[in-house]
Amino acid sequence: MHRSVVRAIKMGELTTKLRRQAIFLVPFLYISLFLIIPLINVLFLALDSNFLDFSRLSLVSMFYVLNHPLNRYFLGWTIQQAILSTLFCIIIGLPASYLFAYYKFPGKSILRNILTVPFILPPIVVLMGFIIVFGHGGWVNLVWKQLTGQLLIEIYNTYEGILLAHVFYNIPVILRLTELGWKNVDQELENVAKSMGASRWKIFKEVQFPYLFPTLAAASLLVFIYTFNSFAIVLVLGGVKYQTLEVRIYGLAKTFFNYNAAAALTLVQLFINGIIITLYLYFSVKFEIPTNQTSERIEYAIFDPLNKKKSILRSLLIVGFFSFLSLISLLPLIGIFYRSFTDETGNFTTKYYERLFSQATSSYIGLPSIQMLQNSLYFAIAVMLLATFLALLLNYGINYEVTRQGTPKVTALNAFTGMIVILPLATSSVTLAFSLFSLYSQTPLYKEVSFAIIIAHTLVALPFSNRVIAATRANIDSTLLSVSLSLGASRVRTFLKVELPLLLPGIIVSMLFSFAISLGEFGATNFLARGNFATIPVGIYRLIETRNIGAAAAFSAILITLTAMSFLIIERIGKIELKI
């Protein structure tokens, strides 16, 4: 009897293990078929061969591509602008995050949200607003020209224009992540250092910086990889002279049909992305201090009645600094809506919305705008369902065992799953689209373009969706599940009656997040879209290229509204840790 009970328990454990592995197999096959295998095919292309054809492998073409002066120039420039963009973001974002962490003032949370606005918007929309504010006929240049008779800044075909756009878009990354680093500084150590007469610089170097460094490093690496892989901004503003590797790969594949050269540069980009993502994970995981363990801080008042002169000066500087940041964060957004509803003379009009959906505009952009809107919604709904479904399977294909200390137990499957899920982050959107195209271009998968776009969007959204589901699941009290199972409920019934209601907010957030990502995705869609399958971001790009700025602003306003609705609902549902 005893042996039969032990055998039954072992069989039950084996069945549970096999069931989990079977669940995990579905997302693993998805990522393998549509990401890993296509990337392996890119490797063969770079080596002048066909998929799995080892007989023709050659390094000659790859060395030629990598030694080509233009490719070396674009690689060097891509790295250079990414480093400069990151440095400028740190110079502006770090003081702002310090003020948020150390001082209390009215409207702080509202101001924080305002400064985050650029980052949650699709890059093509940010670019549209940037053109309205800083372009040739933009507000800034018009005002400056009236004062001085010349333009303040030239954003097209200039290094300065690209850097300015990158800094504007990525400051929120430094701001939000390093604020946590400042808050983790031990305030008691700061007070002791002050009482011993330490200078501000010594306090920063010896006390604050060790706490700040991990989050600053992680945030900086994140900004670097965003700007290194920048596509929409550089495609429109860079011209022929300034191209990131992303834009260069796109041009080689789509314009010159030089797939071997595009594949060779793709490998270089993947190698650099892999290094940066690995470093990012190292700093964000190894040195991470959970937000619920941050020390309680005493926030200082900006105005000190005991030192009025110094307080007034400090207040003016802080108000001026944040006013400037808020202005440049909101101006492009305001500019889009203003431009979409005003004509050349500044009078209210709806003609750009009417023009957007007219037959004339359809001829400019190759497809009726209403169909682009329908395509975007169709893709976004499909992606939000598929990405969330795959994220659920990934999470429930893993048994989250814990150590005696209560921390998640690292198993081979957990580590492997982490690598699988993070892989799309190391793969830029154009690279992802190119790899799909290179392997499946002659198959029904690519010929039915909608499938290829949904697959690409899902891969882009999956790491974020997975993180939301994992964070929500981690917050579920495991004793509730144990009690349910001990009372005789099956695992399926426990999931449906106990776990699912607690997981539902995370599922909704995951779906909305995936929906918003798909709506704003431009790089992969612009590469893959053919015929009747263009989306709103592609339409905005085509309108910008044909200088239909009013109609482009109208389309951007529609996309902003759809994206904002998603994030407002996410904010309502609750705060879930979304760091990757």
Q: What is the pLDDT of residues 83-121, one digit of tens each?
A: 999 999 999 999 999 999 888 888 888 888 888 888 888
- Structural domain ending residue among the three candidates 304, 330, 356: 330
Q: Are residues 237 and 143 in the same domain?
A: yes
Please indicate, yes or no, if residue 521 is contained in any of the structural domains.
yes
Query: How many angstroms separate the first and last alpha carbons of the chain?
Result: 49
Please indicate, yes or no, if residue 258 is contained in any of the structural domains.
yes
Q: What is the DSSP letter of 410?
A: P
Please indicate, yes or no, if residue 351 is contained in any of the structural domains.
no
Q: Residue written as tokens 């009690």?
A: 483
State the SS3 of 364-375: HHCCCHHHHHHH
Q: Are residues 152 and 69 in the same domain?
A: yes
Please indicate, yes or no, if residue 473 is contained in any of the structural domains.
yes
**Alpha helices (H) in 32-67, listed in sequence order:** 37-46, 60-67
The candidate with the shortest Cα–Cα distance to 162, out of 125, 136, 122, 131, is 131
- Structural domain ending residue among the three candidates 491, 510, 532: 532
What is the Cα–Cα distance from 535 to 521, expressed in whole angstroms?
9
> What does the pLDDT look like over 297-339, one tens digit per residue?
667 666 566 566 677 777 888 888 888 888 888 899 999 999 9
Q: Torsion over CA of 399, 404, 409 and 411, rounded to 10 degrees?
A: -90
What is the Cα–Cα distance from 176 to 295, expressed in whole angstroms?
17
Q: Which residues pair with 321 in a beta bridge?
A: none
What is the Cα–Cα distance from 529 to 574, expressed in whole angstroms?
35
What is the Cα–Cα distance from 138 to 156, expressed in whole angstroms?
12
What is the Cα–Cα distance from 277 to 262, expressed in whole angstroms?
22
What is the Cα–Cα distance from 477 to 465, expressed in whole angstroms?
21
Q: Are residues 273 and 319 in the same domain?
A: yes
* Residue 227: CATH number of its domain: 1.10.3720.10
Q: Are residues 31 and 169 in the same domain?
A: no
What is the Cα–Cα distance from 65 to 264, expressed in whole angstroms?
7
Please indicate, yes or no, if residue 579 is contained in any of the structural domains.
no
Q: Are residues 124 and 259 in the same domain?
A: yes
The tokens of 85 are what?
A: 């963009």
- Domain assignment of residue 198, given as a range: 63-330
What is the Cα–Cα distance from 25 to 31, expressed in whole angstroms?
10
At 107 the pLDDT is: 83
Please indicate, yes or no, if residue 276 is contained in any of the structural domains.
yes
Please indicate, yes or no, if residue 509 is contained in any of the structural domains.
yes
At 560 the pLDDT is: 94
Q: What is the DSSP letter of 56?
A: G
The candidate with the shortest Cα–Cα distance to 286, out of 233, 215, 350, 357, is 215
Local structure of 103: helix, strand or coil: strand
Q: Are residues 384 and 411 in the same domain?
A: yes
Q: Are residues 99 and 233 in the same domain?
A: yes
Contact 24, 416 (CB under 8 A): no
Contact 133, 140 (CB under 8 A): yes
Q: Are residues 388 and 320 in the same domain?
A: no
**Alpha helices (H) in 154-208, listed in sequence order:** 159-183, 187-195, 200-203
The candidate with the shortest Cα–Cα distance to 514, out of 382, 426, 423, is 382
Neighbours of 8 (CB within 10 A): 10
Non-local CB neighbours of 95 within 8 Å, separated by 6+ positions: 321
DSSP string across 309-372: HHHHHHHHHHHHHHHHHHHHHHHHHHHHHHHHHB-TTS-B--HHHHHHTSHHHHHHHTS-HHHH
DSSP string across 453-495: HHHHHHHHHHHHHHHHHHHHHHTS-HHHHHHHHHTT--HHHHI
Q: Are residues 155 and 47 in the same domain?
A: no
What is the Cα–Cα distance from 85 to 81, expressed in whole angstroms?
6
DSSP string across 74-97: HHHHHHHHHHHHHHHHHHHHHHHH
CA 290 to chain centre: 21
Domain count, the chain: 2
- From first to last of its 580 residues, the chain has per-residue pLDDT tens of 455 544 544 554 545 555 666 777 888 899 999 999 999 999 999 998 888 777 788 888 888 888 999 999 999 999 999 999 999 999 999 999 999 988 888 888 888 888 888 888 899 999 999 999 998 888 999 999 889 988 888 999 999 999 999 999 999 999 989 998 898 888 888 888 888 888 888 988 888 999 899 999 999 999 999 999 999 999 999 988 999 999 999 999 999 999 999 999 999 999 999 999 889 888 876 655 444 444 566 676 665 665 666 777 778 888 888 888 888 888 999 999 999 999 888 899 999 999 999 998 888 888 999 999 999 999 999 999 999 999 998 887 665 444 444 344 555 666 666 677 778 888 999 999 999 999 998 888 877 768 999 999 999 999 989 888 888 887 887 778 777 777 777 777 777 788 888 888 889 989 999 999 999 999 999 999 887 899 999 999 999 999 899 999 999 999 999 998 888 787 677 554 444 4
Non-local CB neighbours of 526 within 8 Å, separated by 6+ positions: 250, 537, 538, 541
| Maximum separation of any 2 CA atoms in the chain, in Å | 97
What is the Cα–Cα distance from 253 to 260, expressed in whole angstroms?
9
Non-local CB neighbours of 253 within 8 Å, separated by 6+ positions: 259, 262, 434, 437, 527
Q: Residue 104: which H helix or E strand, with range?
A: strand 103-104
Please indicate, yes or no, if residue 108 is contained in any of the structural domains.
yes
Q: Are residues 407 and 506 in the same domain?
A: yes
What is the Cα–Cα distance from 533 to 438, expressed in whole angstroms?
19
- Structural domain ending residue among the three candidates 330, 363, 383: 330
Q: Are residues 414 and 492 in the same domain?
A: yes
Q: What is the pTM of this model?
A: 0.88
Q: Are residues 78 and 197 in the same domain?
A: yes
